[in-house]
Structure 1
Amino acid sequence: MKTVLFSLLAVGTFALTSCKENKEQKSTTETSMKHDMSTMSDSAAMGNMATDKEITVTEAKKSSADLTELYSHYTHLTFALSGDDDKEAVSAAKGILASFPKIDKNGFSDEQKKEFADLESSISEHAEHIADNAGNIDHQREHLDLMSVDFYDLLKDFGTPKPVYKVFCPMYNDKKGAFWLSDSREVKNPYYGKEMLSCGEVQEEIK
C-alpha cells in the first residue's frame, strides 16, 4: 500500500514539475518571439527613416533654376569687355538686372531661397556698378572679377543650362589672378581685351 502511495505521489510530482517547466518554456519562447518582432519592427522603422532621408536629399538636389537668360547676359558682358566695348558692357549689365525677377524660385527650399537671394543681391550690385560706369572700363572689369565669383557659386548650386568653363587669367589684379566663365574653351580675356586677348587657361568644366 505504501508503495502504491509513493508511486502516485511521484507521478503527481513529476506531472506538476513537467507542467511548470512547460509553462516556463512557453513563457520564454513567447518573450523571445516578442523581442524578435520588436527588433524587426524597429529595424523596419529605421529603414523607412533612412529611405525618407535619402528621398529628401535627392529632392533637394533636383531643385534648380532656369538660368539660361541670366547667364546669356553674363556671357554678353564678358564678350563686350574682351572687345574693349564699355557701352556694350552697360547693355549686358542691364540685361542681368532685368533677368533676375523672371527666375522661378517656387521649387526652392527655405535654405536655397536665402542662398539665391544673397547671390542675387551681390550680382545685382556689381551689375549696377558696371551699368553706371560707361567710359570707365577698368572699373567695369573690377566688378566683373567680383561678379564672376558669385556666378560660379550660382551655377554650381542651382544648375547650368549648358556646359560652362571656368577660365583663369594669372596676370590680372597685380598677378593675383582672376577667372571668368565661358561657353567655350577658346580664351577671350575680358580683363585685358585686345591687349592680351588669349591670356588664360581652362581650370574647370561645370555641368
Structure 2
Amino acid sequence: MKKIAFGLLTTLTVFAYSCSDNASNKQTAEQAPATQEETTEVKVMKASFTNVDAAVTGYIKKLTDNYLQIKNALIAGKATEAGEAARQLLEAMKGFDKSLLAADQKKVYDQYETGLKENAGHIAQGANDIEHQRERFADMSEGMYAIVKAFGGGKTLYHDHCPMAKNGKGAMWLSETKEIKNPYFGEKMMECGDVEEEIQN
C-alpha cells in the first residue's frame, strides 16, 4: 500500500512539475529577458497555396471556424457543444465541390479529408464522453493543421502544443488567440502548453 501511495505521489509530482513549467519560464524571463525571448521565439509562417479559388477559401474558413468551436467547447468542458460543432463541420464537408481544387491542392486535401470526417463523427457522437472527444480532437488537430498550413484558415492562427496531453505523449491544437487555453485538460490545467507557430492567413 505504501508503494502504491508513493508511486501515485511521484506521478502527481512529475505531472504538476511539467505543467507548472510555464510559471517557472515566466520567472526566468523576468530574471533574463533576452535569453528567454530567444528560447521561446514563435515561428511565423504563411499558407503554402497562394492561388486558391474564393469558394475554397470560404469553405476552409468555415471548417476552421467549426474546428475552433469544438476547441472552445472542450476548453469549457461542454461536450454537447463540441458535438454540435463537429456535426456542423461534417455538414460543411458534405457540400464541398472538390472540382474547385487544383491538382496539387486536391492531393493535400484528399490526404486529410477522411481523417477529418472520421474524427468529427466520433466527436459528434461522443457527447457523453468528453475524454473520448478530446482524444479524437488531438487527431483532428493534426489534419486541420496540415490543411491550414496549405490553404490558410481565414485568420491568423496559433499552433499550440501541450507535452502532457495523450498520457504524456503530447498533442497540438490550433487557436485563434495567442493566450494558452488547453482543450485537453480545460480548467484542470488551463495554461499547460506553449505557442510554437503563428500561421498568418
Q: From the CA coordinates, give the structure whose radius of gyration is larger.
A: 1
Deviations 1:73-128 (CA, angstroms, capped at 9, x unpaired): 10000010011111111101101101123445444223422331231211010000
What's 1:150 paired with?
143
What displacement does 1:176 show?
A: 1.6
In the superposition, the TM-score normalised over structure 2's length comes to: 0.69
Q: Distance in 2 between matches of 1:171 and 1:95?
A: 29
Does residue 194 of structure 1 match 2:194?
A: no
SS at match of 2:121: helix
The reply to whether residue 91 of structure 1 matches residue 77 of structure 2 is no
Q: Which runs of 5+ in 2 are unaligned?
A: 1-48
Q: CA deviation at 1:171?
A: 0.9
Residues 182, 160 of structure 1: alpha-carbon distance in 2 compared, 3 angstrom cutoff: same
**For 2:178, what is the secondary structure of its paired residue?**
coil
The aligned amino acid for 2:115 is: S
State the match for 1:62 in structure 2.
Answer: 51
> Counterpart in 2 of 1:162?
155
What TM-score, normalized to structure 1? Answer: 0.67
Tell me the equivalent position of 1:204.
197
Task: List gaps (5 residues or longer) in structure 1.
Answer: 1-59
1:171 maps to 164
CA shift digits 1:1-29 (9 cap, x unpaired): xxxxxxxxxxxxxxxxxxxxxxxxxxxxx
Instruction: Give the counterpart of 2:131 among 126, 129, 138.
Output: 138
Q: Percent identity?
A: 38
Task: Give the corresponding residue for 1:109.
Answer: 102
Corresponding residue of 1:127: 120
Shift of 1:169: 0.8
Tell which deviates more after alignment, 60-69 or 169-178.
60-69
- SS of equivalent to 2:113: helix
Question: Separation in 2 of the partners of 1:160 and 1:87?
Answer: 24
Which one scores higher on RCO, CA 8 angstroms, separation ≥ 6? 2
In structure 2, C-alpha distance between the alignment counterparts of 1:73 and 1:103, rounded to whole Å = 15
Query: Which protein has the bigger helix share?
Result: 1
User: What is the alpha-carbon root mean square deviation over aligned residues?
Assistant: 1.6
Amino acid at match of 1:62: N
